[in-house]
Amino acid sequence: MLNRRNFLTAAVGVAAAAGLSACAKEDEGGSGGSSGGGSKKITLGFSQVGSESGWRSANTDSVKSAAKEAGFNLKFSDAQQKQENQISAIRSFIAQKVDVIAFSPVKVTGWDAVLQEAKAAKIPVVLTDRSVETKDESLFVTLVGSDFTDEGRRAAKILEKVLEKAGHKGKVKIAQLEGTTGSAPAIERAKGFKEVMEAEHKDDWKIVVTQTGDFTRAGGKQVMAAFLQSNPDIDVLYAHNDDMAIGAIQAIEAAGKKPGKDILIVSVDGVKDGFIAMSEGKINAIVECNPLLGPQLMEVVQTVKDGGSVERWIKTKESDFMQDQAKDALPTRKY
């Protein structure tokens, strides 16, 4: 049925399409990548989680531009939120003998095997933005990123201010939109928030519903629409990122309520669209989680490559924003 010529045309088609996908997934950042003679040029293999939110895109841009500025050869790979993609990306970095591997782990656990391989190949590993859980501390050099547990605590603290400002007295019913199940920011932002809540507001605050919105707008919208049905008397929404909060705002509006007034909203990240929503009065407070860690990462990569020692955890610089600061802060938001 299938003659040779037809098969060949089909094969070429398949190859072309596969090539296209490869281009889209593994575009080489940095300067050209093919500067053959540059033996001193540091090659950095970076595996990104995906591009699930505006925050993540800003993070990617920051890493790419910082690598270019530092004159590193960056091999960038997008894991599309899948751990198996990330593991195979790290394996290919090992095979390509890059100088340093950096990655933002999709999940907290399950990295021991592949990191052992990197260690055996004597390639230092730097984690960015998210941490991993492992018994062997020597598997990675350092973590460049935010303290998510602290972000959770800060969210609870700023909620106190928001409630005071809104004149809310008595019991507080909280709905929580969690990030991707099993991811470090989702676990730790929930943990930090709960810590403060149980220590200081044991009697009056209560999380009545909590569910994952996968850090996406569509997820936040759908989950919030269901929350509003099962618990119409929610006072506060705590969203683990701005995008879910933006989705939830649309659901709250569809239910005929006023986001920021009928339901107070606190979210984490501080992306541009989040600040726009806050300046419109729809989000009450944002706890910043700074994605622009590219320059800090490149510094660390250089130090590690030169054999210097670095701290185990290099924290990014961050601050909190209330509604009245939104308009002033908005023009400075790059992402």
Nearest to another protein of 37, 256 (CB atom): 256
Count of residues touching another protein (by CB under 8 A): 52
Residue of the chain from 39, 229, 309, 332 that contacts another protein (CB under 8 A)? 229
In the complex, the smallest distance separating the C-beta of residue 216 from another protein, rounded to whole angstroms, is 5
Containing 152, the helix (H) or strand (E) segment is helix 148-166
222 binds another protein (CB under 8 A): yes
In the complex, the smallest distance separating the C-beta of residue 312 from another protein, rounded to whole angstroms, is 28
In the complex, the smallest distance separating the C-beta of residue 83 from another protein, rounded to whole angstroms, is 15
Nearest to another protein of 82, 171 (CB atom): 82
**What is residue 42's DSSP assignment?**
P
* DSSP letter for each residue of 49-118: ----SHHHHHHHHHHHHHHHHHT-EEEEEE-TT-HHHHHHHHHHHHHTT-SEEEE--SSSS--HHHHHHH
How far is it, in rounded angstroms, from Cα 306 to Cα 123?
13
Kindly state the greatest CA–CA separation across the chain. 78
Q: Identify whether the C-beta of residue 104 lies closer than 8 Å to the C-beta of residue 47.
A: yes
Comparing CA positions, the residue from 7, 3, 35, 58 lying closest to residue 290 is: 58
Contacting range for another protein; rule: CB under 8 A; set: 76-84, 144-152, 287-295, 306-314: 76-84
Q: How many residues does the chain have?
A: 335
Q: Identify whether the C-beta of residue 75 lies closer than 8 Å to the C-beta of residue 98.
A: yes
Q: Residue 204: CB partners within 8 Å, gap ≥ 6?
A: 170, 171, 172
Residue of the chain from 210, 279, 302, 303 that contacts another protein (CB under 8 A)? 210
Contacting range for another protein; rule: CB under 8 A; set: 103-111, 165-173, 226-234, 304-312: 226-234
Comparing CA positions, the residue from 243, 158, 171, 181 lying closest to residue 208 is: 171
In the complex, the smallest distance separating the C-beta of residue 43 from another protein, rounded to whole angstroms, is 22
47 binds another protein (CB under 8 A): no
12 binds another protein (CB under 8 A): no
Nearest to another protein of 246, 264 (CB atom): 246
Interface of this chain with another protein, residues 118 to 147, rule: CB under 8 A: none
**Tokens matching residue 283:** 């989000």
63 binds another protein (CB under 8 A): no
Question: Which residues contact another protein (rule: CB under 8 A)?
Answer: 1-2, 6-7, 9-10, 13-14, 17-18, 20-21, 23-25, 50-54, 57, 60, 78, 80-81, 178, 181-182, 209-212, 214, 216-218, 221-223, 225-227, 229-230, 243, 246-247, 250, 254-256, 273
